[in-house]
Amino acid sequence: MKLKVLVDNNTITDRYFYGEPGVSYLIEDNGKKILFDLGYSDIFIENGKKLEEDLKDLDFVVVSHGHLDHTWGLKHLITKFNQWETEKIRYKKPKLVAHPLTFNYKELKGRCIGSLIGKDVLKNFFELKLTKEPMWLTDNIVFLGEIERTNSFENIDSLGDIFIDSRMRDDYLLDDSALAYKNEEGLSVITGCSHAGICNIIEYAKKITEKEKIIDIVGGFHLLDPEKNIIKETLEYFEEQNIEKAHPCHCVDLKSKIQLSKVVDIEEVGSGLVLEI
Over residues 91-137, the pLDDT tens digits come to 999 999 999 999 999 999 999 999 999 999 999 999 999 999 999 99
Q: What CATH number did the domain enclosing 108 receive?
A: 3.60.15.10
Under 8 Å CB-to-CB from 48, ≥6 apart: which residues? 4, 6, 26, 54, 55
Quick check: 275 pLDDT over 90?
Answer: yes
Alpha-carbon distance 3 to 217, whole Å? 12
pTM of structure: 0.97
CA-CA-CA-CA dihedral for 9, 14, 17, 20, to nearest 10: 20
* Domain count of the fold of the chain: 1
Smallest Cα–Cα separation from 95: which of 144, 121, 146, 130? Answer: 130
Quick check: 277 pLDDT over 90?
Answer: no
Q: CB neighbours (10 Å) of residue 127?
A: 12
Residue 171, domain extent: 2-276
- Identify any residues that bridge with 35 across adjacent strands, giving them in sequence order: 26, 61
In tens, the pLDDT along 54-95 reads 999 999 999 999 999 999 999 999 999 999 999 999 999 999
Kind and range of the H or E run holding 214: strand 214-219
pLDDT-derived band at 158, boundaries 50, 70, 90: very high
| Neighbour-count burial of 42, counting CB atoms closer than 10 A to its CB (0-12 exposed, 13-18 middle, 19+ buried) | middle
Q: Strand, coil or helix: what is 47? A: helix
Alpha-carbon distance 159 to 149, whole Å? 16
- Identify any residues that bridge with 188 across adjacent strands, giving them in sequence order: 181, 216
pLDDT of residue 64: 98
Kind and range of the H or E run holding 228: helix 228-241
